[in-house]
Structures are given as structure tokens and as C-alpha cells.
Structure 1
Amino acid sequence: MSENKKYNYPKQLSIFRFLLNAESIRKNPIPFHKRYFDQFGDSFSLKIGKTKHVILSRDNEVAEYILQKHHKNFQKSELQTKFISKYLGHGLLTVNGDFWLKQRRLIQPAFHKQKMNQLVQNMQQTIISELKDLPEEKEVASFPIMNQLAFNVVAKSLFHISIEEEMSRLKIIIHEVQNFLIKEIRLPYKAFWFKLSGQVKKHQKLALETDVIIGKIIEERKNSEEQHNDLLDMLLETRYEDTGEAMSTQQLIDEIKILFIAGHETTANALTFILHLLGNHPEIQQKVFDEIIQIESETDDVVEQLQKMNYINAVINESMRLYPPAWITDRENIDDDELLGYKIKGKTLIGVSFYELHRNPKYWDKPEEFNPERFLGEQKKESYKYFYPFGAGPRMCIGLGFAMYEMSLALSHIIKKYHVKSQHKEMQINPLITLKPVGATVIFSKR
């Protein structure tokens, strides 16, 4: 039986048309995704070479199927495991199968709510310190401020006390490596040139420098008698169920690298988008302020305050609906499967654009509108059916609780002290590994 008779796929985008737009797609694929979805429907396909098939979707049924209902037949693709692991090592983000499950079970307890509650005091102190000298009454770029804030919150939550020079170097390396990684993923036909010109080697060397910086911190901690009550202490205390052994230093390095990148960049992006949206919606900003004042009149306990921040959480969620920091994910099916009635071949690459799914009018009323009410009361349950800011299923982001605490604390601190005004109505975006804001500026005015 021929392959064409055995397998069938959603409407197909021609490879010629794809290659014609390849350079523009590399710079920003989102406008092209939207154009193709509008033309072909909520899922379309692409055939590369004689045997490789790709499906891109904004269909909730696809997201549920590959991430939750039938997740055992879908693993992270080579785009994530091969390319990213080259620079970030073999941690939760980049591994599959039994090893991933083993690592997830080992690390998960460090991110349980009770453990996160222990980090809140340190998190709050870092936020207050980082935001104490915000420039007032003048237009400022918001992303650098939020990026510095999020980086230091993660650094001090991981390591308690960060070494300024080494942490700054770590931030530079992460930025450089990510930019090159995007080129590798989106321009596969230039792979030979990247290798020949020494660019791959250069960026792998930078990744090794990261290992040295983190490895030094780990070894110093192992030799220390002090208790720091941070994530590194928690990770050092973990033991594998089957052997009773701790993680190796290299495995710790790999996991910490991923926590650093996933933990600071996504939050920095999200906070920048939130400030932009609140700065354009003063009536919603006022409701945030009112909730902060009300909560602070009820309790001084920071953890209790966080648990009462219903409207603030709705604002954060609605912002991440419009601008999901983890804007796309992909999987490959291990064996042949059936999806949306199509028989798909094993090793088909399936991408789900959360950015487009979150704006799909099939699921959202007035999808382009910023409306936190979607995540309150009766609407909340319905909205969560189509909401994937942290992924879904067994591989849902392990740092969800950490990120929500950090964003809630940062947002409440800013809005309590300042009126925020956006300088632009429209938000420019750059979809790299995460969805990055471009050119966002605000004015902070003292309340």
C-alpha cells in the first residue's frame, strides 16, 4: 500500500510557498501562521522531502490530544531535544521518556506549594529592592527593568545570595545562545554553514562557561555548613527513589540552567505585557489597586495576601492569554496515530500555536479584547478549557506556582506605589523560544 493511501493530512501548504517566505518566517512566524490558518483552517500541514510531515494547529482538540489524552504516544521533538540540549544539557525541558519521568518525580517536591511558601519572603524582599528606584515621570523601556527583576528573583530564589558579576555574565550568555539557537531551528538549510563558520562551536563554548559558573556555586554550597532555604538546598536534598542517590553535579547544572532560563525570561516577558495592558486600561488598573488595598486591610501575612489576589490573578491570566510567553509547543508521535480523523505517520512533527489558540474566535468571545473577567466567576471554568500559558498534561511547567507568586507580588508592589501609563497602544512582539515584547515603554507616576 502506498504512503499516500495509508496516511492523510490536513490541507497542505506547498513547500515552495513556505521556502519563498522562509526568511520572513524566521524573523516572525506569527503573521504567516495567522495567514495560513485563515486560509486552510485551524490545522494545516507541510511535507518536507519525501517522508517528513509537519502539522501546525490552533485547534484545542489537537492540544488536548497530544498533551493530555494521548500524551504517551507523543514526545518532545528533536527541535527541543536535539537543538536545545546542545546548549542547555539534559534537563526536564529537553529529555523524553523514562529519564524525564525520573527527573520530574525527583524535582517536583521542591516546587510543591508548601515549599514555594517558604520562598515568598525572600522573593518579596528581592522585588522591593529591585523596584525601589523606578524612574518616575518619564518614558522608560519596561522590559529591561522587568528582565533585571525576574533574573534576580530567580537567582536569589535558587542561590539565595547571587554573585553580581557572575550572574550578569550568565544573563549575557543566555541571551546570545538563545538568539543563535533560533537561527539554527528556523534556518535548518544553513546548518552546514553554521558549523563550518565556527558559530556552533562558539555557542557551545559559551554554554560550557555557564556550566563552570553554576558548577562553582554548587560545589561551594556542598562544602558549606549553612542552610539557605533556597531551591539549590532543596535540589541538593533530593534523592532518587530507586537508588537513594542524589543528582550528579552535571545533572544539577543542567536542571538549574533550564530553571534559570524558563524561570526568568518567561516572567520578564509576561510582566512587560501586563504593564503595557494595564497602562492602556486605567479602569482595570484601578481595580487592581482597589484589590491590593482591600487585601492589605484584611491580613499582613504575605502568603495569605497572595491567596486572596483573585482579580490580580485574572489580570495575569488574561495577559498571558493574549501574550503567552511560551507561545508554541511541539510533539512527535512515536507510533502511527489518528488525529482529527486523519491517519498520521509516526514521527510527524505537530506544532500547537498557543498564541493563535488563545485568540481563536471559536473559543473566545472578542478574542483581541483585554478582559480579565474571563478568568473570574462562572467564566473562569470555561476559559481554562482553552488556556495553555504553562502547557498542559504531565509536562505542564513545573514552575507554575513560582511564576504566579512572583508576578502577583511584583504587580501588586508596582500598582500600589505607581500609576502606570503605556506610551503605545499596540504591542510589538518577537517570537523567539519565548514570546518577547519589543519596544514597550511606560511612565511610572507616584500615587
Structure 2
Amino acid sequence: MSVGKKYNYPNQLSIFRFFLDSEGVRKNPIPFHKRYFDKLGDSFSLKIGFSKHLILSRDNEIVQYILVKNQKNYHKSKFQSFYLSKYLGKGLLTSDGDFWLKQRRLIQPAFHKQKMNMLVENMNKAISAEIINLKENEVVNAFPAMSQLAFNFVAKSLFEFSISEEKLHRIKFIIEEVQKFLVKEIRLPHKALWFSLSGQVKTHLKLAQENNRIIQEIIEERNSSNDDFNDLLNMLMETRYEDNGESMSMEQLIDEIKVLFIAGHETTANALTFTLHFLGRYPEVQQKVFDEIAEIESQTDNIIEQLQKMVYLNAVLNESMRLYSPAWITDRQNVEDDIVGSYKIKKGTLIGVSFYELHRNPKYWENPDAFIPERFLGEQKKQSMQYFYPFGAGPRMCIGAGFAIYEMCLAISQIVKRYIVKSNTDKVEFNPLVTLKPVNVEVSFSKR
């Protein structure tokens, strides 16, 4: 839209304060964000240079406006479209505009509920195979265990059981290494020249290319196979563009699979880790989950029906993701000048949305730092869902949200059926990378 050339922005964080805090922000921006919000309000701005502005917000009205109501004027920022695409290619996560819409329409049917229901038996078998590997009667770091479980689960859902352990481990290693370097690039832009001259960019681009080759080999093996497969790869290979009836190119298929690996594995591992912590800290909640599962299984053997009845377990997962949202932040840039709330903003303004802070904003949540699953039950759930963004919102809401919920419900239900979970961690630590990664969350599993 066209607005006057006199712009106004939220309360401004001084550039001097920002530079004083910059090293701490690089390590963990969340405590600093909270401090700024508490001082400056639910949105604040930072002026960079003479005319560039950045806004960070935990205001639900602003979030709804840029992600839903006027989303066409807000594209992904350079952080997502440039830095991520350099290593991940042009998949759903990194693309924008008409190309993104074309890909979304192509891939969406593969994640339709009926399609996901077809995968559930394989999903359940894959999770069972992973859970028997959990160490019993000793304190373990939950994240590596859940990361391994989630990664293997996603791999087997993508490729059923047709991929070697060696290739799996290599893909996992590359994804983790590239992500760590990607975060350094984003948080330390002033070191861009050094990263390039020292060969670090080249090294990680080579790793990304190796990942492409491994995934291409898997696809080529599938193309030459006469076997029938019931997995996501098969669904993606069978999709056709509406305009020309053609399938995705090899390059595009590789890019979309990389996105599914990262989005489907790490965010789920994070959420499972935080949820295990809460189950271990609140035995009465864990008992309620166990009782619900036992009651459901006495009513039906059908896994789909069981998943649909896991109301309390879903509430526990939602409350865990409210407090520690795996996708803890996102950003957009406006294509044209706009009015957002009471602010007139210039085109090209970078707007960051802190889901972590919005999910703890006392304006929307009573006793916001407490773990209360009942927020997501009955009438309370309607209120809570207005301010809850574990998978984003609007047309760009995570395409695999249903898949992730199925995966987490199956994993937690199987763990709680077999084990009593105890948490040895008083205060949760985390590292806000591309996703909110748990740090040193220690739990133990004992036979129930």
C-alpha cells in the first residue's frame, strides 16, 4: 500500500546499547530480547545506518498482520532466502513468491491427512525400533537420544527401510555441521570476508554438495527399483505440476528432501526433549498421559483412532512447545511501504517475530512461565490457540505440522508405556540456533 513518506517506528533500542550487548546476543539473544521487551514494549526497533530499520515483536496483532492478513507484502528475509538457500537450495523453506506457491501446491497433497494416515503403520514400527535402544536405569543427555530417534524416524518415513546406516549417519553429520556454520554466518556478518578467505564457506558448501549426491543416489536407486514403497519419497516422486503434468526435477526433489530432513528431524527432537523433561519433572502429568494411553488402547487397536483420542497428550506437547518453541523466531521484510499497527514502516524493513517471547507474553498468558497443560484443554484451548505458533501461521505454516504431531504422539506414548521417565535437570538450558536446541537436559528411563 502507499503511505506518506514520514515513517514512525516502535521505541528504539540505542545502537550503543546493542553494540555493548552484541557478544552476549551472539551467544544467546533470548535473555537480551526479554530485557529489551520489558523496557521498550511488545515491539522495539533498531536503526541501522541512516535509513535501515529492524523491528522485533512479540505483539500478536503485528504477528497476525504480517504472517496472515497482509502476508503477500511480507517475504522471507535475506537471512532465510540467501544464507539458508546457499546450503539447502530452493526448497519450500527458502523460496518465495510464485515459485514458492507453485511448490507448495505441488507438495501439499503428500501431507494430506489421508496420506499421513497411510504412513502411520510404518511410522509406528520405526519408532518402536528406535525406542528399544534407549538406555535404561542411567542418566542420559536426552537430546542426542531424541535426535537419533527423530532422525532415523524421519529417514525411514522418507525412504521407508531402503537406506544404509552409513548414508544415514553421513547425512546427519553434514546437516549438523552445516547448521552450526550457518548460525555463525548469520550472527557474525562482519566476519563474512574471513569466513570466505579462510576456506570455511568452501568447506561447508562442499559438504552440502556431498549431501546432494547421497540423496541423489537414493533417488536413483528408487527409480531403478521394481519394489513398491509406501513412504514420503514415493509420494513426492508421484506428484505432478498442475500446469504441465510434469514431476519435480531431480535438483528440486533433492532440495525438498533436504528441507524435510532438517524441519522434520531437529524441531521434533527438540520438542521431544523438552517434553521428556516436563514429564520427568511432573510425575502426576506423566501418570495422566499413561492412564490416557491405557484407556485408549482398551477401546481400540486402530492406531489412527488412538492418535485422534490422545487429547491430554496433545495438551502436554502443546504446553511444552509453548514454553520452548522449536521454531523460536522468524522474520519477514515488507515489499512495499505499509502501516503495521500504529507504525508506518518503509519497504525493506526487517521484522523479527519472537515466538519464544510471544508464548510467554503476560499480556496473553496467565502465569506464563509455568507448565500448565490444561491451557490446551476444553474452553481454555480456544483462548490459547489465538496466541500459539509452534508451526508458524498463514499460508507459510509448516507443511509437515500434522506429520510432526503424529510422530511426537507416537514417540511419547511408546516411551511412557514402557518407561517411567525422571528428569535430573532443574533449570532447562538451550542454544537458540536455527531452532531452539536443548542443552544438557538429563533424564533417566526405568522399566514401568
TM-score calculated relative to the size of structure 2: 0.98
In structure 1, the partner of 2:156 is 156
Deviations 1:186-230 (A, max 9, x none): 111111111111111111111000000001111111121211110
* Separation in structure 2 between the aligned mates of residue 20 and residue 202 of structure 1, nearest angstrom: 32
Report the alpha carbon displacement of residue 134 of structure 1 after superposing the two structures with TM: 2.1
Residue identity opposite 1:316 in structure 2: L
1:445 positional shift? 1.3
Q: Secondary structure at the match of 1:56?
A: strand
- Aligned to 1:246, the other structure's residue is in SS state coil
Aligned ranges for residues 33-432 of structure 1 at < 5 Å?
Answer: 33-161=33-161, 162-432=163-433
Q: Which residue of 2 aligns with 1:28?
A: 28
Cα deviations by residue, 1:127-155 (Å, 9 ceiling, x for unpaired): 11111132222111111110011001110
Residue type matched to 1:287 in 2?
K
The structural deviation recorded for 1:17 is 1.6
Distance 1:138 1:223 in 2: 45
Unaligned runs of 5+ residues in structure 2 are none
Distance 2:231 2:203 in 1: 33
Aligned to 2:331, the other structure's residue is in SS state: strand
Q: Aligned equivalents of 1:347 and 1:239: distance in 2? A: 35
1:245-285 per-position Cα deviation (integer Å, ceiling 9, x unaligned): 11000000000000000000000000000000110001111
Number of corresponding residues: 445
The whole-number CA distance in structure 2 between the counterparts of 1:185 and 1:51 is 21
Per the alignment, in what secondary structure is the counterpart of residue 343 of structure 1? Answer: strand
Aligned partners of 1:304, 1:345: CA distance in 2, in Å? 50
TM-score normalised to structure 1 length: 0.98
SS of residue paired to 1:83: helix
Deviations 1:66-100 (A, max 9, x none): 00011011011110000000000000000100000
Q: Runs ≥4 in structure 1, deviation > 2 angstroms? A: none
Deviation (angstroms), 1:5: 6.5
State the one-letter code of the partner of 2:158: L
CA distance in 1, matches of 2:425, 2:230: 41
In 2: Cα distance, 1:296 partner to 1:6 partner: 63
**Cα distance in 2 for residues equivalent to 1:146 and 1:307:** 23
1:12 aligned counterpart, secondary structure: coil
The runs of 5 or more residues in structure 1 that have no matched partner are none
Deviation at residue 18 of structure 1 after TM alignment: 1.1
Equivalent residue number for residue 435 of structure 1:
436
Look up the SS of the partner of 1:90 in the other structure.
coil
Shift in Å at residue 417 of structure 1? Answer: 1.1
2-side partners of 1:30 and 1:60: how far apart?
Answer: 18
Deviations 1:394-414 (A, max 9, x none): 000000010000000000001
| SS of match in other structure, 1:21 | helix
Structure 1 counterpart of 2:235, one-letter code: M
